[in-house]
Structure 1
Amino acid sequence: MSISTALPAIVSKTKWRLIPFMLMLYILAFLDRSNIGFAKETYQVDIGLSNEAYALGAGLFFVVYAFLGAPANLCLRKFGARRWIGMTTLVWGALSVAMGFADSEAKFLTVRVLLGIAEAGFFPGMIYLTSQWFPQANRASVMGLFYMGAPLAMAFGSPLSGALLELHGWLGHPGWFWMFVIEGILAVAAGAWTFSYLDDTPAHARFLDAKERETLQQQLAKEESSKSSATIGEALKNPRVWHLAVIYGTIQCGVYGLIFFLPTQVASIMGSSVNFMTSVITAVPWLCALFGTFFIPRYSDKIQERRKIAAITFCIGGLALMASAFVSPYAAIIALCLAATAFFACQPVFWAIPTSLLSGSALAVSIGFINMFGAFFSFAAPLIRVHAETIFASPAAGLVSIGSIVVLGALAIIALGKQGSAQLSTQTNK
C-alpha cells in the first residue's frame, strides 16, 4: 500500500489519539488564564484591587509568558513532549489553585507572573507538537480542532465559572476562591495523566503499529526536507518571521481585548452585574466561535488557501467588535458573536503559514518568537482598552481602539503576498 493510500487512515487515527487530549489541556489552560475575568468585580472589591492593578496583573502574565516561549520550545525538543507538557500542566494547575489565596494586590501580581512562567511552554509547545505529528495538508483543520479548546472553555467554562462564583460563603470562602481552586485542581490532575498518555514523537507512538509509524514518519520527513534548513539565528533574522509575529500580535490584541472584558460588557448590555445568567449569555459568542473554528480551517485545508481566508475572517472580527459599541443590545450580542468567531477561527489558518516555512529547532524557536509578539500584544490589549475608555470617557472608545488594531492586522496579512501560499501549495503537492 502506498503512502498516499495509507496516510489518511493514519492521520485519522492520530487525530483521535492526540486532539481530544490536546483539546482538554487547552480548555484547562484557557480557563486558568482567563477566569480572572469572571472574578473581576467581586475579587477586586474583596481584596481592594484597582482597575489599573487588575489590568497590570492581567497583562504581566503575558510579559513573562512572551519571553519564555522560545526557550520553552527548545526545552520541549530536549526533554520530550511527555515530560515537558506534563510538568508544565502540573505547575500551572498548582499556581491556579494559589490564585484562590491571593488576597492582596502584591500576591495577585506575584501569582499572575508565576502563572505566566508556568504556562509559557504550553501553547507554543502544542503548535510545535502539531507540526511534528501531522502532515502540512491537514494542519489547519487539525489546529482548528485544537483551537476549539478556547471557545469550548469560554462556552462551557463560562457557566462553570459563574456557578462556582455562586458558592460565595461556602466554608467561609468567597466564590472566586472556589473558582480558582477547583479549576486549578482539574489542571493538576490532567498534568499527572499526561505522563502516562502522551508519546513524544511518531517514532514512539504506542497507538500505531510499526508500519503505520514508518509511513507517517516518511511523509513528515519528506515535507521537512523541502523546508528551509535555516539556523535559529537565520530564522530570527528572517523578515517574514517578523511580519508573521506582528500579525499574530494584532490577532492576540483582538482576542484578549475581548476576553478579559466580555463578561462585564455583556452585563452592561443586560443592565445587571456579572452573575450566573450573565455567564450563560456570555457563553453564546463562544458557542458561535466553536462552529467557526471547526469549519473555517477545514475549508482552508480543502482549497489550500491560508492568507485570504485569515485576512477576511480577521477583518470581519475587527469591524464587528467596533460595531458592538454602537448598536442595540440584541445587535451588540450578534456583533460580539461575529467577533469571537472571527478571532478564533483565523488563528489555526494563520499558524498553517509559519509551520510550512521552517523545520527543526528553527521552527521551534520561530513559533516561540511569533507567540512572544502575541503575548506582548495580549499584555497591551487590556491596557489599551482601559486607557482609551478613560481618555475619551466612553466604553465605545476601548472597542474602537481594539477593533482598529485588528483591521490593521488584517491588512498586514494581505501584505504577506502570495509567496507563503504558493510555497505551501508546492510542498503539499509534492
Structure 2
Amino acid sequence: MREHIEDPQQQAEQAVIRKVAWRFLPMLIVGYLLNYLDRSNIGFAALTMNRELGLTASQFGLGAGLFFVAYCICEIPSNVMLFRVGARLWLARIMITWGLLSALMAFVVGPYSYYGARVLLGMSEAGFFPGVTFFLSSWFPAKYRTSILAWFLLAIPLSSLIGGPLSGSLLYLDGWLGMSGWKWMFVLEGTPTALVGIWALYVLADSPAKARWLTPDERELIQRMLASEQREKPRKDFGAALRDPRVHLLALIQFGFTVGSYGVGIWLPQILKQFLSTPLEIGLVSAIPYAFASVGMLLWARRSDRSGNALGNLAASCAVGAIGLACSVFAHGVSASMVGLTIALIGVTAARAIFWAIPGRIMTGIGAAAGFAYINCIAALGGFAGPYVIGWAKERTGSFTAGLVVMAVVLTVTVVLVLPLHLVGQRSRRAAG
C-alpha cells in the first residue's frame, strides 16, 4: 500500500482495506498453507510409504497426479455451488471434508486404495483456491488485489518452508502406537484443517453488507469502491467468459507454470534423497528454496503493482522459472542443484501471485466464479502432468534429468504464450470501444 498519502478519502480506503485484510487473511493463509501442505506431504510420505506399500515410481506418480484429475473434474461445479450458497459455508465445507479425508490417507494399503484415496481427496479440495480468489475479488478493489493475493499466496512457499521440516520430523514417529511414521504424518497434518474450516464459519462474510464487524460507514465505503469498479467492467456469464480467447490463454499459461511448480515440489524430497541420508535433513534442506521464494514473491508482487505491467512481470517470472530448471539440469552436486531449483521456485511462485490479479479484470459475477474455476481446472492438469512426467522419466532413465528438461521447456513455451494474451487484450479493448 502507498505511503505518505494526504487525501482523507484514500486514507479512509486504506484503513478499511487493512481492517478487512486482518480479518480474513490470517485464516485464509493458514487454510491455504494446510492445503499446500496436504498436496506436498505426499512427497515426504513416499520416502517410506512407497516401500511399505510396494509402489513403483510410476504408480506413485500416477496416484499423485490422480488427485489433480479429480480436482479438475469437480472444480467448476464446486465454484458454481460457492456462488449459489455463499463463500462462507462452501469454503468451510471444503476445508472440513478435505481435512478428514487427508487424515484417512493413513489407511491406504496398496496401489488401488492409494489411487482411490487420492481421487476422493481431489474431489473434496476442488474449488478451494478459485473460490478464495473469487471471494477476495468480491471484497478488494483491483488496485489492492495483487498485494492481497500475494499475501494469501505466501501460504504456498510457507507450507514447504514449514512443511518440509515438519513432515520429515513426523516420519520419525515410525512405530509409535504401532503405526508407521508416514501414517502419523497424514493424521497430524490433516486433522487441523477441519478445525480451520470451523474457524472459517466465524470469520468469513459473503459480502460487506453481511459483515456486522464493519461500521455502516465502512460497509458503504467498500460497496462504493466495488460498485465503481464493476461499472467499468463488462459483466459476463460463464458462456461469455468461454467465448473470450483471453480466458483460454490464461488457462494455458497457468497450466505451464503449474507443471513446473508441482513437478518440482512433489519430487523435491526424492531428488534430495540422492544427496542426503535422513528424512530430517531432506526436510530442512527442502525448506531453503521456499524461504527465498516467499521473499521473492512478495517483492515481485509489489513491483508488479507499482509498475502496472502485470503481463510483462508474468512473462519474466516464468522465464526465471525456466532458467532455474535448466540450471538445475546441468548442476553437479547438491549445492549447485539447489541454487537452480531455488531460482526456479522463485519464478513460478511469483508467477502465481501476479497471474491471479489478471482474470478478475475481465470477468465478474457468476462468470468470474465459473471462469476462475475453469482456468484453475485446466491448470490443475499441470499438477497431474508434472509429477507423472518426472516419475515416468525417472523410471525409464534412472535419473530426474529428462523430467526437469521437460519442465523447463514447458515454462519456456508459457513465456511465449503471454505475448498473444497481450495482443488479444488490445483487440478486445478496441472492439469494446
Deviation at 1:206, TM superposition (A): 2.9
Which residue of the other structure, out of 349, 354, 360, is the alignment partner of 1:355? Answer: 360
Query: Is the Cα contact below 8 Å between 1:322 and 1:400 reproduced in 2?
Result: yes
Q: How does 1:72-87 map to 2 (within 5 A)?
A: 72-87=78-93
Structure 2 residue 244 is the aligned partner of structure 1 residue 275: no
Alignment of 1:186-201 (within 5 A): 186-201=192-207
The counterpart of 2:347, out of the listed 342, 346, 361, is 342
1:157 paired with 2:163, answer: yes
Cα deviation, 1:41-72, whole Å, max 9, x if unaligned, reads: 21011111122211111111111111221221
Matching of residues 376-391 of structure 1 within 5 Å: 376-391=381-396
In structure 2, the residue matched to 1:296 is 300
Match of 1:176 among 182, 196, 209: 182
| Residue 204 (structure 1) shift | 1.5
Structure 1 residue aligned with 2:331 = 327
Q: Which runs of 5+ in 2 are unaligned?
A: 1-6
Instruction: Give the structure 2 partner of residue 255 of structure 1.
Output: 261
Quote the Cα distance in structure 2 between the aligned partners of 1:52 and 1:278. Answer: 22
Whether the aligned pair in 2 keeps the contact of 1:353 and 1:421 (CA below 8 Å) is no
Shift of 1:402: 0.8
Displacement of 1:403 in angstroms is 0.9
What TM-score results when the alignment is normalised by the length of structure 1?
0.94
Indicate the residue corresponding to 1:110 in structure 2.
116
Q: How far is 1:393 from its partner?
A: 4.7
Cα distance in 1 between the residues matched to 2:311 and 2:426:
7
Alpha-carbon offset, residue 340 of structure 1:
1.1
Give 1:97's match in structure 2, choosing from 88, 94, 103: 103
Displacement of 1:367: 0.3
Match of 1:35 in 2: 41
Aligned-residue offset at 1:253: 0.5
> C-alpha distance in 2, partners of 1:362/1:274?
49
Residues 231-289 of structure 1 show CA distances to partners (whole Å, capped at 9, x for unaligned) of 21111121111111111110110111111111111222x2x345101110000001111
State how far apart, in whole Å, the 2-side matches of 1:274 and 1:359 are: 49
Change (3 A) 1:422 1:2: farther
Alpha-carbon shift at residue 34 of structure 1 (Å): 1.6
- Alignment partner of 1:66 out of 52, 63, 72: 72
Percent identity, aligned pairs only, is: 36
Between the aligned partners of 1:172 and 1:421, the Cα distance in structure 2 is 63
Deviation at 1:421, TM superposition (A): 8.7
Using the alignment, how far apart are the partners of 1:422 and 1:222 within structure 2?
A: 24
Separation in structure 2 between the aligned mates of residue 203 and residue 96 of structure 1, nearest angstrom: 35
Equivalent of residue 227 in structure 1, options 233, 247, 250 = 233
- Give deviations 1:181-224, integer Å, cap 9, x for gaps: 01111111111221122111122223321101110011111111
What are the superposed Cα offsets for residues 375-429 of structure 1, whole Å, 9 maximum, x if unpaired?
A: 11211111222333445554211111111101110111133226659999xxxxx
User: Any gaps of 5 or more consecutive residues in structure 1?
Assistant: 425-430
- CA distance 1:18–1:325, shift in 2 (3 Å): same
Q: 1:175 is matched by which residue type in structure 2?
A: G
8 Å CA contact 1:3, 1:215 repeated in 2 = no
Paired residue secondary structure (2:283): helix
CA contact (8 A) 2:165 2:287 kept: yes
- Counterpart in the other structure of 2:15: 9
The code of the aligned residue for 2:306 comes to K
Question: Which stretches of structure 1, 4 residues or more, deviate above 6 A after TM superposition?
Answer: 421-424
Q: Distance in 1 between matches of 2:278 and 2:46?
A: 9
| Compared CA separation, residues 391 and 105, structure 1 to 2 (3 A) | closer
2-structure distance, mates of 1:184, 1:125? 20
How large is the RMSD of aligned CA atoms in angstroms? 1.7
**Stretch moving more, 282-291 or 197-206:** 197-206
Shift of 1:328: 3.0
Choose which of 221, 224, 242 in structure 2 pairs with 1:218. Answer: 224
2:58 is the alignment partner of 1:52: yes
Greater CA drift, 174-183 or 230-239: 230-239
Query: In structure 2, the residue corresponding to 1:325 is in which secondary structure?
Result: helix
Matched position secondary structure for 1:134: coil
Q: CA deviation at 1:321?
A: 1.0
Contact 1:145 1:293 in 2 (8 A): no
Counterpart position of 2:248: 242
Higher mean Cα deviation, 388-397 or 64-73?
Answer: 388-397
SS of the aligned residue for 1:230 comes to coil
CA distance in 2, matches of 1:416, 1:8: 32
Q: Secondary structure at the match of 1:166?
A: helix
Counterpart in 2 of 1:402? 407
Q: Could you tell me how far 1:138 is from its partner in structure 2? A: 1.1
Q: How many residues align?
A: 422
